[in-house]
Structure 1
Amino acid sequence: MLNKKLLFSSLNVFISVLLLAGCASTKSNAKQENKETSKDSITLMQTNELLSLDTSNHADLTTWNILENTMEGLYKADSKHQPAPAMATKIVKPTDNGTVYTFPLRHNAKWSNGDPVTAHDFVIAWQRSVAPTSKSGYNYIFSGIENADAIIAGQKSVQSLGVKALDQYTLQVKLEHPMPYFNKMMVMPAFFPENQAALKKFGNKYGTNSKSLYYNGAFYATGWDGTNENWSLKANKYYYNKKKVHLKTIKYLVIKDPNTAHELFERNKLDDATITGVTAKELQGDKNLIHQNRAGNYYLRVNLANNHPLTNNKMRQALSLVLNRKTLTKNVLADGSLPANTYVAKNLVKDPINGKDFADENQPQQTYNVKLARKLWKQGYRESGFKKTVALTLIGDDQTVTKNVAQFVQASIQNNLPNVKVNMKNIPEKSASSYVHSGKFDLGNTLWLADFADPTSFMSILTKDNPQNYGKYNDEYFNKQYNLAIASSNNNQQYWQHMNNLEKRLNQTLPVIPLYQMVESHLVNPKLKGVLRHPVGETDYTQAYLK
C-alpha cells in the first residue's frame, strides 16, 4: 500500500544541545543515562510528517502507522500475521457462494468519547471512503463490494454500496463476485469505522488534528495540531481489551535523518530508531539492531502521459538496465534492504499451484546490462524524435535515504546513457505528493507496501482507472489479464496464471522500475517487548511493554 515517508518547534536548539552534550561525554556514558520516561511510556519515530487522521481522505504510512495503534477494524493481525477478531467477534465464513459476509460485532467496544461502536459506524465510514469525492486515492480498495465501481465512477449513490447494518451489532457485506482474500483485507485502516457523532461535530475538520475525531483502539492521539512534528498516544480508558494494554503513553517524533535517530537512541531518547545508509552500515553489528522484513518494494514510478519523455518502452528498459541494484542496496542503503527486480515484493505470497515465491518465479531475464541499455536508449531516443538532451525530473520526499537513492539513480543514468539529464527534486512529503498527484514529474521515488498478502494488492493500482495510477499506465493486455484474474478468483489455477501474466507484462513494459525491497534496520531498546512487526501492514504497539 502505501508510501515513504525535526522534531518539535525547538528542534534545532534541541539537536544542537544533544550534539554538544554528546561531544562532552563518551558513548558509554550516554548509554548509562537514566531514561526520562518510566516503564509506562516509550518514544518512537516517524520518518515523515503526519498529514491527516481521516482514513476516507488520506492514506500514507505515517497516517496508517498511527491509526494502527488508535483504531480497530473488524479484524487485527495476530502474532502469526493472520486476521484475528477485533470489532468482529469471529472470523467470518462467507455464504451465498462466497459473496456475503455477515459480521457479528462485539457489544463492549466503545469510542474514546464513550459511544458504543456499532455497525452503522462501519457503514458511514465505508460510504465516505468509496465516494468519488474521497481524496485518499484508496476508494478503489472497495472494488468487488456490490456497486462500489459504479459509485466510484459517479453512476450510483454511496447509499447503494453493498454494506448494511442489519442491526446495531450486525454488519453485512455483499460482494459482486467471490474474493477469497476479503478477510485478509479487513485488517486494513481503509476499512476502519468512523464515529458518527464525530463526523457531525467536526465536519470538514474531521481528522485534521488529534482532537477532531474519536478513537476505538487501545490508544487515542493527543498533541497534534495538524502541522507539528511531535505528538503522543494515550491509553484509551474505554478500550474493550485494556487489561492487555501495558503502556500509558507512546510519544512520537518526526525524524528524517538517520544520524539524528541514532544519536537520540544512544541518549535513550528513542526506544525504536529507524536507520539507513552510512549510519546503518556502521551499525550492522550492533547488539540492539534488528532487521524488519516488509512485503514492500521501492520503485521509480514512470509518468507515461503523452507530454512526458518516457513513453517509449525501450527508453524505460534502458533506465532499468543501468541500475545496479546490488550496489544500491550494499553501498548506498546498507541497511539490509534487498535488490528488487519485480514489481511485487518477495515473501508476500507463494503461488499455490507450484509452491514457489511469486516474485521469484517471475524474475526478468535481464536486470543489469549497461551495454544493452545504451543500445536500447539510442534506439528509443531516435524513435521518439528527440534532438536535444532529455531532461527528466525525479521527484521524492526530503528524507536523507530518499536523497541518497535519488543521487544513485541520477549518477547511474547520466554516467551510462547519452543525451539525458536527471534533475532531482527532494521536497517535504506533502509537496512531493502534490507534484505526483498533479502529474508534475517524469520519475517518482515511490514505495508500495502490500495491504494484504495477495499480488492483487500491487496489481490493482496499475489498472487503467485506479486513482493511485499516477503514472497513467494504460496497457490493454494488462487490464484484460487483471479483469480475468478477478473473474476467476475462485479458480486457483486460472487466477494464478493471470497473476503471473501480469507480472511478466510489467517486466516487459516497465511502467514502474523496481529498485529494492523494504528491509528496515531498527535500533530497538532491548527492554521493549510485545511489539508485533508484520511483513504486511503496520507495526502494532498496542500490547508492547518495557521489561
Structure 2
Amino acid sequence: MKKRVFAALSCLLAISMVLTACGGVKTGAGGGTGGVDKNQELNMTITAEPASLDPSISPDTVSFRVLNNINEGLFRMNKDNKPEEAIASRVEVSADKKTYTFTLRDAKWSDGKPVTAKDFEYSWKRTLNPKTGSEYSFILFPIKNAKAYNEGKVDADQVGVKAVDDKTLKVELEEPSPYFQGLTTFTVYGPQRKDIVEKYGKKYATEPDKMVTNGPFDLVEWKHEQSLKLKKSDTYWDRGAVKLETANMNIVKDISTGVNLYTSEQTDMTQLNAELADAFKKSPDFTPVTVSESQFIVFNLKNEFLSNSKIRKAISYAIDREALAKLMKDGSKPALALVPPTITGNDNEPFRKKATHGHLFNPREAKRLLKEGMKEEGFTEKPKLTLLSFDDYRKQASVFIQEQLKTNLGLDIQVDPQPRKQKIDREDNSEFELNYTAWNGDYNDPMTFLDLFLDSGVFSTGHWDNKKYKDLVEKAKGNPDFKERTQQLVKSEGILLDDAAIAPVIYGGKAYLQKPYVKEIVRHPIGADMTLKWAYLDGKDK
C-alpha cells in the first residue's frame, strides 16, 4: 500500500508542477464548463465512525458533520457562515432580549409527518434530562432553568421552552445572550420525534431504520466502521436547493490510505495530515480550511508537581509554537492564548484584537520559573510525567512538545496516545497528568471557549479553581451591556493564562484534497464543520 501511495504522489506532484507554480485553491474553484453533471454522486472520506447520531448525545466532529446534513434546526449556518432561517421562517425577540418566539415553516420528517414545535421542546428537554447523560447539555444552559433542570433542582416544565402550538416555539432565556440565535444552528438544538425515540429506546439512531430526519439528506445506509450513504431527501422543505443526489462517506482512518483513494480516482475529497499537506501544497487540488480550533495542554492540578503555577507556566514558555505550526503544515498558527483569532466579540471585531495577553516562547524564563517552582514545592528532582495524547495526526504535536520539554527544561515526558473514546474517558475521569487536547468553537463567541473551565465545563477535570475567573465568566453570560461583557471576557482569559491553567499551543488548521469539479461545499469554522446542501459536481462526467 505504501508503494502505491508513493507512486501516486509522485505522479500527481509531477503533474501539479507542470500545471501550476502557485498554492492551493479555495473551495469550489476550477471545474468544467459544460454545465452541472447529470450524475450527482459525491464520494468523500471521513476519518472516524460517528460516535452517535442521537442529537442529544452526539459528542464529536464527525457526528456533527453527518447530523448537520441529515437534520435541521431552527436556523442553519449559511454560505457566509452566518445563521439564517431554516425550520424557523421568522423569529421575534422581546425588548429585553430574553424571549424568542420562533414561527416554524411547513416542514416534514423523512417519513412525511410534519415537524412541529413540540419536536423542539421534547428534544431540548430530553438533552437536558440528567438521565440522558448528554455531554453537550451545557450548550442549552442559556435557556431559563435549563441548568437547574439538568442538575435535578427543578422539573422539566419549568424549563423556558414551550410549544405554544404546532407552529410556534417560545423560548425564555436566563439573561440576554448575543449569540443565542447562532446557538440554534448547532446540532444539539435540532428537533427529535418523541414517538421514534421511545419506540427504539437504546437502539434509537443506531441504524437508518431506527431514526427519522428532517434535513437536506436522508441516511439510507450505515455500514459501521466502513461507510455511510446519504441520499437527497424527498421531504425536505428546501429540496429545490439541493443538487447532490448521493453523498458517500467512506470511513478511512489512515490519511495515507485516503490519499491513495484520491489519487486513484476512488474519492473526490479527502483530508491531509502534515506530511501529505506539505507534499500537495502546490497541487491545484490542495484546499486549506479555516477552523476555530484551539489546541492546548490541560494540567491536572491534583499532581503535586503541576499544582505550582510557576512550573505550569515554565512548561508553557518552553514550547516553540512557531516551529510547531510550521511542522504541522496544515494551516495551523501559533497560539499564545485560548480563544482563536476567528472568534469575534459582540461588535463583530476579532476578540484577539482586544485580548492580547498570552504566553510567549522564552526558554530562559522557563528555566527560571521551573527552578523557583520546584523550590517552592520542595522538589529536588524532576519527576517523570505522562502526556495524554490523540492517536491521530495530532500525535505529531505531542511528540514535538515532548522534545521541547526535554531540550529546554530537562523534563522526561512520556507520550500516551489513546483512541478518541478511551481518551475522552480518561479526561472525564481526570486520569492524566498533562493532557494535550483541543476544542473547536460551537458558536461564534468567546464564551464557547471560556466556559469550558467552569465547574460544569468540559475541562474542569484539570481541577483548576479560580473564583474571580468563575465570577467574571458567569457575569458575562448574562450581562446586557455587551461592551462591558467583552471586557469581562478579556479579563477572564487573562486570569486563565496568568495562572497557567492551560498551556496554549496552536490554533489548528485543516487541509484537504478536493477535485476541482466539486463545487459549493461550505465549510464552517464553528459548530458542524461542513454543509453539503448547496454542493454539486460540474465536470466529473467528462
Displacement of 1:444 after TM fit?
2.1
Q: 1:145 maps to what in 2? A: 143
1:259 aligns with 2:256: yes
1:461 aligns with 2:452: yes
Single out whichever of 66-75 and 229-238 deviates more from structure 2.
229-238
Whether the 8 Å CA contact 2:5–2:256 is kept in 1: the answer is no
Counterparts of 2:264 and 2:149, CA distance in 1: 52
Note if 1:509 corresponds to 2:499: yes
SS of aligned partner of 2:462: coil
Deviation of the 1:76 alpha carbon: 0.8
Q: CA deviation at 1:223?
A: 3.0
Q: For residue 67 of structure 2, what is the aligned residue in structure 1?
A: 67
- Aligned counterparts, 1:439-518, within 5 A: 439-488=430-479, 490-518=480-508
Q: Which residue of 1 is the match for residue 237 of structure 2?
A: 240
Question: Within 5 A, what are the aligned runs for 1:117-266?
Answer: 117-224=115-222, 227-266=224-263
Distance 1:454 1:124 in 2: 27
Q: Secondary structure at the match of 2:306?
A: coil
Q: Secondary structure at the match of 1:375?
A: helix
What corresponds to 1:4 in structure 2?
A: none
Deviations 1:435-477 (A, max 9, x none): 1111111222222111111111111111123355332332111
- Superposition pairs of residues 281-360 of structure 1, within 5 angstroms: 281-304=278-301, 306-307=302-303, 309-330=305-326, 332-350=327-345, 352=347, 357-360=350-353
Q: Report the CA distance between 1:292 and its aligned residue.
A: 1.2
Give 1:513 deviation, angstroms.
1.7
Structure of greater relative contact order (alpha carbons < 8 Å, 6+ residues apart)? 2
Offset at residue 186 of structure 1 (A): 0.9
* Residue 406 (structure 1) aligns with: 398
Query: Mean Cα displacement is larger for which, 360-369 or 452-461?
Result: 360-369
TM-score by length of 2: 0.90
Tell me which of 521, 536, 542 is aligned to 1:545. Answer: 536
For the structure 1 residues 494 and 39, does the alpha-carbon distance in structure 2 shift closer, same or farther, using more than 3 Å as the test?
same
Distance 1:475 1:536, change over 3 A: same
CA contact (8 A) 2:330 2:510 kept: yes
CA contact (8 A) 1:22 1:30 kept: no
Distance 1:333-1:29 versus aligned 2 partners, 3 A rule: closer
Question: 1:309·1:442 contact (CA, 8 Å) conserved in 2?
Answer: no
* In structure 1, distance between residues paired with 2:38 and 2:437: 38
1:447 partner SS: strand
Change (3 A) 1:219 1:474: same
1:525-544 residue pairs with structure 2 within 5 A? 525-537=515-527, 538-544=529-535
Pairwise CA distance, 1:366: 4.6
Measured after TM superposition, the shift of residue 365 of structure 1 is 5.7
Give me the whole-angstrom Cα distance separating, in 2, the residues matched to 1:27 and 1:532: 26
Measured on the aligned residues, the alpha-carbon RMSD in Å equals 2.4
Give 1:337's aligned amino acid: S
Structure 1 gaps of 5+ residues are 1-14, 32-36
> Aligned-pair distance for 1:96?
5.1
Distance 1:214 1:82, change over 3 A: same
Is 1:374 aligned to residue 367 of structure 2?
A: yes
- C-alpha separation in 2, matches of 1:439 and 1:422: 18
Letter in 2 for 1:317: K
CA apart distance, 1:62:
0.8
Among the aligned pairs, what percent are the same residue? 28
Separation in 2, partners of 1:29, 1:408: 31
Q: 1:516-546: CA deviations, max 9, x gaps?
A: 1122112111001121122222211122100
- Cα distance in 1 between the residues matched to 2:534 and 2:174: 37
Gaps of 5+ in 2: 17-36
* One-letter amino acid of the counterpart of residue 445, structure 1: Y
What is the CA-CA distance between 1:270 and the residue it aligns to?
Answer: 2.2
- 1:397 aligned to which of 390, 393, 396: 390
Q: Is the 8 A contact 1:223 1:231 kept in 2?
A: yes
Partner secondary structure for residue 407 of structure 1: helix
Conserved? CA contact 1:69–1:542, under 8 Å: yes
d(CA) in 2 for partners of 1:464, 1:21: 52
CA contact (8 A) 2:298 2:459 kept: no
Bigger mean CA offset, 426-435 vs 248-257: 248-257
> Within 2, Cα distance between the matches of 1:269 and 1:191?
35
Partners of 1:252 and 1:97 in 2: how far apart?
A: 45
CA positional deviation for 1:98: 1.1
- Between the two proteins, the alignment pairs up a number of residues equal to 517
Distance 1:442 1:398, change over 3 A: same
Q: Aligned equivalents of 2:471 and 2:397: distance in 1?
A: 34
Equivalent pair of 2:8/2:263 in contact (CA under 8 Å): no
Residue type at the aligned position of 1:539:
M
- Kindly report which structure 2 residues correspond to 1:50-61, keeping only aligned pairs within 5 A, or say none: 50-61=50-61
Q: Is the alpha carbon distance of 1:40 and 1:442 closer, same or farther for their aligned partners in structure 2, counting shifts above 3 Å?
A: same
Q: 1:315 to 1:307 in 2, by over 3 A?
A: closer
The alignment partner of 2:195 has SS state of helix
1:502 maps to a residue whose letter is S
Shift of 1:128: 1.1
Query: Relative to structure 1, is the Cα distance of residues 414 and 17 closer, same or farther in structure 2, using a 3 angstrom cutoff?
Result: closer
With over 3 angstroms needed to count, the CA separation of the structure-2 counterparts of 1:541 and 1:309, relative to structure 1, is farther
| d(CA) in 2 for partners of 1:56, 1:309 | 38
